[in-house]
């Protein structure tokens, strides 16, 4: 014969299985009758056991203890409390009927038995109540730990999948297995798509979805005898999707749990979005680098043939000094080659501006050294029209020298291009700025043009035919260069005629 505990465990497992089926069918009548069957079985088992002990001639007190045990045992079988009390009552009656004198009657001759019945009832009722409470708490703890495990599994699932949709499918099947309910999850890239989804719902569902959308809170309601729960998925404080659970009524705990799942889904969505953005940015960066290095090597390669064209045409100009027509042709070649060279240099400056390590290229230099270097690019004829004045002596500035030379070159070149008279360059200090001013008495600029000057691809025809009209990159590059140096660029009309362009650069201070 099996020891009683093993039998009880067997019954427990069997019923547990039945109980799970019952959860699915959700039929109340079946559930109730199952409880009845359970307590009947326990009652029958313990009554038989009591008869067995009685047949050994054991004392009455042993029988009483057996029934008390029978009245407590139900607590481990997840039977509602009322059925537990019913079982205790049945046990007391059985003891009275089978084991007290007169046997096989409910009559009580001895008053002492009455006291025993009441005590039995109270003891088993009280003990089973305590065990029941502790069981219930254990059950809640168990459910919570299960919930946590599911949450953990879910976040693991979503974390491991790089494709959000794939992760979502796994998550939905996990939820359906856990909740024994139909689950649908929709997560979108923007709120517009959320509205499109809401529009497709039935009227009652739609109203509740809208409520949930507005309040950012879950909604539970019944539609055609079916319990439906809506959980909003919040990304950046706006609803970007829903979890629909239909077919079960969810406890307060479960609703909280589902809200947590909503947050996990939102996080996963955000994470995958940011991974995608990161990859896109990386790809863009690589493409940009490739483009820049291609452009840079082309521009460098152009320098050598241009050096040859410019040099050869210079030689030819000396040779052809007597033959005017040929001289004009060669001059044009020379001028155009120089123009091309300027454009190449502009492109190289733009590439330099976009270099990621631009700040490492900065050097502390005297501003007059930079101006001197910029002037090296002009020929004697141009230089004869330039006057330079350093009002407040030497000033240190922290600059990318190539770029600053280019900026000054472009400004001075423009000034020479758009005037036939003298061009003056002045430097002076207005703390904390080192100012460089290029002043010409040329054609000036109209107010309407001022705003477009630095935008790029705006150009004006030079007044001297020896200069070619540019593509309008010059000033655009100047303004960008001044920007990366945290400086200021300003255009003003010259008092009498022409333009004053001023650059303000922060003066370099050692303690900064």
Partner 1 sequence: MSKVLIIEDDLSLQHYVSTLLKNNGYDVCVAANLANAHSLFYTQSPDVILLDLTLGDEKGEEFLRKNRELTESSIIIVSAIDDFSKKVHLLDEGADDYITKPFNPGELLARIRVGMRKKTSSDPAKQCYRYHDFFIDYEKELVKMNNNEVHLTPLEYQIIRYLTLHHGRVCTTNAILKAIWGVYYTQADAQNLRVFMANLRKKIEPNPTRPSYILTHVGVGYRFID
Q: Which residues contribute to the site for partner 1 (CB under 8 A)?
A: 300-301, 303-308, 310-312, 314-315, 341, 363-366, 368-370, 372-373, 379, 388-390, 393-394, 396, 401-402, 405, 510
CB of 155 to partner 1, least distance (A): 50
CB of 491 to partner 1, least distance (A): 24
Q: How far is the CB of 157 from partner 1 (least distance, A)?
A: 52
CB nearer to partner 1: pick between 349 and 502 = 349
Closer residue to partner 1 in complex, CB, 97/390: 390
Between CA 389 and CA 414 the distance in angstroms is: 19
CB of 349 to partner 1, least distance (A): 11
Name which of 30 and 364 has its Cβ closer to partner 1.
364
Smallest gap, in angstroms, from Cβ of residue 421 to partner 1?
Answer: 19
Q: Nearer Cβ to partner 1, position 147 or 427?
A: 427
- Of 219, 456, 276, 260, the C-alpha closest to 353 is 456
* Cβ-based burial of 435 (10 A; exposed 0-12, middle 13-18, buried ≥19): buried
Question: In terms of CB distance, is 374 or 453 closer to partner 1?
Answer: 374
Q: Which is nearer to partner 1, 105 or 308 (CB)?
A: 308
Query: Which residues are CB-contacts of 216 (< 8 A; sequence separation ≥ 6)?
Result: 232, 234, 237, 239
Beta carbon nearer to partner 1, 184 or 372: 372
The dihedrals phi and psi of 285, each to the nearest 5 degrees, come to -65, -45
* One-character DSSP codes across 371-391: HHHHHTTS-HHHHTTEEEEET
Do 442 and 498 form a contact (C-beta atoms < 8 A)?
Answer: yes
Residue closer to partner 1 by CB (options 18, 369) is 369
First to last CA, the chain: 93
- To partner 1, the closest distance from the beta carbon of 295 in angstroms equals 15
**Would you give the DSSP letter of residue 76?**
G
Q: How far is the CB of 373 from partner 1 (least distance, A)?
A: 4
User: 340: Cβ–Cβ under 8 A, 6 or more apart, which residues?
Assistant: 302, 306
Q: How far is the CB of 271 from partner 1 (least distance, A)?
A: 42
Q: What are phi and psi of 427, to 5 degrees?
A: -120, 145
CA distance 6 to 455: 89
Give burial (CB, 10 Å; 0-12/13-18/19+) of 171. buried
Least CB distance from residue 441 to partner 1, whole Å?
20
Opening angle at CA 244, ends 242 and 250, nearest 5 = 120
Closer residue to partner 1, CB minimum distance, 216 or 364:
364
Residues with Cβ within 8 Å of 12's Cβ and at least 6 positions away in sequence, in order, are 76, 77
Mapping DSSP to helix (H, G, I), strand (E, B) and coil, where does residue 399 land?
strand
Nearest to 73 by CA among 128, 36, 7: 128
What are the beta bridge partners of residue 202? none
Compare residues 54 and 312 and give the one whose CB is closer to partner 1: 312
DSSP string, 139-207: HHHHHHHHHHHHHHHHHHHHHH-SSHHHHHHHHHHHHHHHHTSEEEEEE-SSHHHHHHHHHTS-HHHHH
Closer residue to partner 1 (CB): 116 or 349:
349
Name the residue nearer to partner 1 (CB basis): 256 or 389: 389
For the bound state, the minimum distance from the C-beta of residue 343 to partner 1, rounded and expressed in Å, comes to 13
In sequence order, what E strands does 431-498 have?
Answer: 433-439, 488-493
Residue whose tokens read 């100012």: 435
Nearest distance from residue 418's CB to partner 1, in Å?
Answer: 23
Q: How far is the CB of 401 from partner 1 (least distance, A)?
A: 5
Name the strands in the sheet holding 219-223, side by side, starting at the edge strand that comes first in the sequence: 182-187, 238-246, 226-235, 219-223
Residue 42 vs 481, nearer CB to partner 1: 481
Q: Give the H/E segment covering residue 503.
A: strand 499-506
In the complex, least distance from residue 371 CB atom to partner 1, rounded to whole angstroms: 8
């Amino acid at each position: 014969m099996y020891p009683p505990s093993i039998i009880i465990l067997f019954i427990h497992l069997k019923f547990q299985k039945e109980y799970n089926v019952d959860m699915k069918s959700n039929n109340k009548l079946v559930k109730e009758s199952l409880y009845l069957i359970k307590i009947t079985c326990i009652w029958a088992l313990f009554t038989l056991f009591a008869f067995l002990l009685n047949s050994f001639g054991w004392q009455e007190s042993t029988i009483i203890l057996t029934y008390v045990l029978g009245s407590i045992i139900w607590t481990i079988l997840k039977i509602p409390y009322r059925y537990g009390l019913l079982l205790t009552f049945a046990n007391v009656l059985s003891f009275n009927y089978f084991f007290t004198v007169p046997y096989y009657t409910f009559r009580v001759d001895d008053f002492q038995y009455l006291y025993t019945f009441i005590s039995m009832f109270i003891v088993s009722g009280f003990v089973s109540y305590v065990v029941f409470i502790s069981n219930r708490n254990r059950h809640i703890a168990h459910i919570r730990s299960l919930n946590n495990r599911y949450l953990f599994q879910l976040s693991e699932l979503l974390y491991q999948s790089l494709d959000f949709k794939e992760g979502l499918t796994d998550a939905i099947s996990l939820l359906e297995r856990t909740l024994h309910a139909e689950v649908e999850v929709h997560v979108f890239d923007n709120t517009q798509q959320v509205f499109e989804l809401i529009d497709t719902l039935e009227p009652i569902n739609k109203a509740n979805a809208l409520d949930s959308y507005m309040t950012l809170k879950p909604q539970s309601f019944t539609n055609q005898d079916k319990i439906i729960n809506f959980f909003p998925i919040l990304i950046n404080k706006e609803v970007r999707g829903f979890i629909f659970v239909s077919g079960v009524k969810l406890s307060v705990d479960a609703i909280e749990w589902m809200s947590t799942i909503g947050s996990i889904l939102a996080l996963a969505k955000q994470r995958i979005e940011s991974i995608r953005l990161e990859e896109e940015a990386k790809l863009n960066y690589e493409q940009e680098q490739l483009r820049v290095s291609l452009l840079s090597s082309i521009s460098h390669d152009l320098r050598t043939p241009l050096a040859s064209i410019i040099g050869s045409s210079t030689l030819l100009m000396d040779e052809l000094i007597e033959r005017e027509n040929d001289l004009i042709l060669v001059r044009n070649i020379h001028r155009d080659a120089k123009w091309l060279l300027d454009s190449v240099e502009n492109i190289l400056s733009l590439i330099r501006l976009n270099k990621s390590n631009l700040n490492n290229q900065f050097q502390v230099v005297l501003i007059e050294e930079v101006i001197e270097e910029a002037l090296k690019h002009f020929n004697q004829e141009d230089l004869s029209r330039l006057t330079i004045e350093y009002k407040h002596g030497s000033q240190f500035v922290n600059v990318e020298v190539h770029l600053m030379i280019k900026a000054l070159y472009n400004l001075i070149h423009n000034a020479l291009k758009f005037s036939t008279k003298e061009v003056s360059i002045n430097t002076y200090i207005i703390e904390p700025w080192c100012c460089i001013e290029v002043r010409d008495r040329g054609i000036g600029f109209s107010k309407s043009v001022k705003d477009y000057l630095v935008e790029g691809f705006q150009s004006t025809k030079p007044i001297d035919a020896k200069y070619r009209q540019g593509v309008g990159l010059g000033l655009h590059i100047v303004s960008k260069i001044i920007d990366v140096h945290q400086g200021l660029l300003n255009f003003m009309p010259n008092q009498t005629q022409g333009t004053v362009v001023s650059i303000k650069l922060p003066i370099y201070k050692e303690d900064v």
